[in-house]
Amino acid sequence: MENNRNWAGNYKYSASELHVPENVEQIQELVARSSRIKALGTRHSFNGIADCTESLLSLHKLNRVIELDHKRNKVTVEAGIRYGDLCDYLYGCGYALHNLASLPHITIAGACSTATHGSGDRNGNLATAVHSMEVVKADGERVVFSRDQQDGLLVGAVVGLGGLGVITQITLDVIPAFQMSQYVFDNLPLAQLNDHFDDIFSSAYSVSLFTDWKTDAFNQVWLKRKISDYYLAGEESEFYGAMHASVHRHPVPGHSAENCSEQFGIPGPWHERLPHFRMDFTPSAGEELQSEYFVPRHYAYQALCAIDRIRDYISPHLYVSEIRTIAEDNLWMSPCYKQDSVAIHFTWKADWIAVRKILPLIEEQIAPFRARPHWGKLFAMPPIHLQSLYEKLPYFQQLLLQCDPQGKFCNAFLKKYIKDGYL
């Protein structure tokens, strides 16, 4: 298989062939005749969650908007469409999604399947916007999971980790389009979160804190505010000890901000402010690794202080770390299941030998806070411990067997972390 690496270049897929079907019927035929097959999105996962020993199936050509339902405020799309492309369409029609990830270049299906998220106290991860989805099961037949169905299985299927089948269509909730502005502040002391955590993270629609862990402070605070929520504090020169940035910032200190979303409070469309980077900017490949852990919100300050204690081990190998809040959800395999969460993200330099030694140190520090790793990023957590963090895992295993009794969509990653009762 040509081009057999992921976006970052750190993972090499083991599949012998890559299929790029042009319609759902071709997907059904490919799935029905394959013994092992997995769907592939934009290859933005940093581990083997999307790998397969035989065939990979790219959704690259299934990238259309199928229907915009003005009465029900929903949009139906093919699963391979990227968020940036969908956002342009929605904005032109006067609609928006509730949130976006840092990068707008990822596919809808891949992001929802791994519980990818944005930021905001009241904003659930991207999968919480899914109203229904169509999946091609192992036998090649289509099945629909929907909130309208009484079986309630959509909450188990949405964050499906690629194990249920090939997602072909997704229907998302949409809201009226809105305008946003973005402000950046420099040098927020970590200690401010002890007394002002809720104040800081409720100060905008979406809030991100960035640090390189060289000191006990956050290098930058990014506040993304809806214009309708705008108030005079948006013009403040100081924010809980952090000072208004004098020039445009990139999250990584020392990097050019040319490709970042607009700052200094300049109003713009929601989809041009919620991501940190512009859609017309293609992220570089092969220059970073990523890890991320979710802790219950009430443990967030303690968890950050625990990481701060080992910052001397972390900082030499790190580009930047980002802290965001995510609202709780009821999706079985979501790291935010039944808990308002804080995500602690690490963007590492491309040195796996060093990172592999650091991850167990971080996980040891945050283990008392029941930290859950991001499914699509790098972690070292033992499978038995990871499984203990998901109370709905037995139900998810049953759903996998129902859709894929022979393990056609199973791979080494799912065998390792989902395990019991699943081939």
CB 262 within 8 A of CB 268: yes
List of residues 6+ apart from 88 with CB closer than 8 A: 271, 279
Closest among 251, 242, 329 to 294, alpha carbons compared: 329
Kindly report the pTM of this predicted structure: 0.95
Task: Decide: helix, strand or coil at residue 46.
Answer: coil
What pLDDT, on a 0 to 100 scale, did the predictor assign at position 284? Answer: 55
pLDDT in tens, the chain (423 residues): 667 898 888 999 999 999 999 999 999 999 999 999 999 988 999 999 999 999 999 999 999 999 999 999 999 999 999 999 999 999 999 999 999 998 888 999 999 999 999 999 999 999 999 999 999 999 999 999 999 998 899 999 999 999 999 999 999 999 999 999 999 999 999 999 999 999 999 999 999 999 999 999 999 999 999 987 555 444 678 999 999 999 999 998 888 888 899 999 999 999 999 999 887 776 654 589 999 999 999 999 999 999 999 999 999 999 999 999 999 999 999 999 999 999 999 999 999 999 999 999 999 999 999 999 999 999 999 999 999 999 999 999 999 999 999 999 999 999 999 976 555
Question: 221, 184 in Cβ contact below 8 A?
Answer: yes
Q: How far is CA 361 from CA 21, 57, 371, 416, 417, in A?
A: 43, 36, 13, 21, 20
Please give the order of strands across the beta sheet that includes 55-58. 17-19, 55-58, 37-40
Handedness of CA 83, 78, 129, 90 (dihedral sign): positive
Q: What are the strands, taking DSSP E only, across 21-125?
A: 37-40, 55-58, 65-69, 74-78, 95-96
The rounded distance, in Å, linking the Cα atoms of 44 and 377 is: 9
pLDDT of residue 232: 43
Start-to-end Cα distance in the chain: 25
Q: Which amino acid is located at 217 in the chain?
A: A
Q: Please report which helix (H) or strand (E) contains residue 36, including its range.
A: none
Q: For residue 318, what are the CA distances in angstroms to 11, 291, 303, 402?
A: 19, 11, 18, 42
Q: What is the enclosing helix (H) or strand (E) of 154?
A: helix 154-157
DSSP H or E segment with residue 335: none
Q: At what angle do helices 352-366 and 300-308 cross, to 10 degrees?
A: 130
Q: In this structure, what DSSP letter does residue 255 have? A: S
Residues 152 and 265: their CA atoms lie apart, in Å, by 42
Question: What integer pLDDT is reported at residue 283 of this predicted model?
Answer: 62
Phi, psi of 26 (to 5 degrees): -65, -35
Predicted pLDDT of residue 233: 46
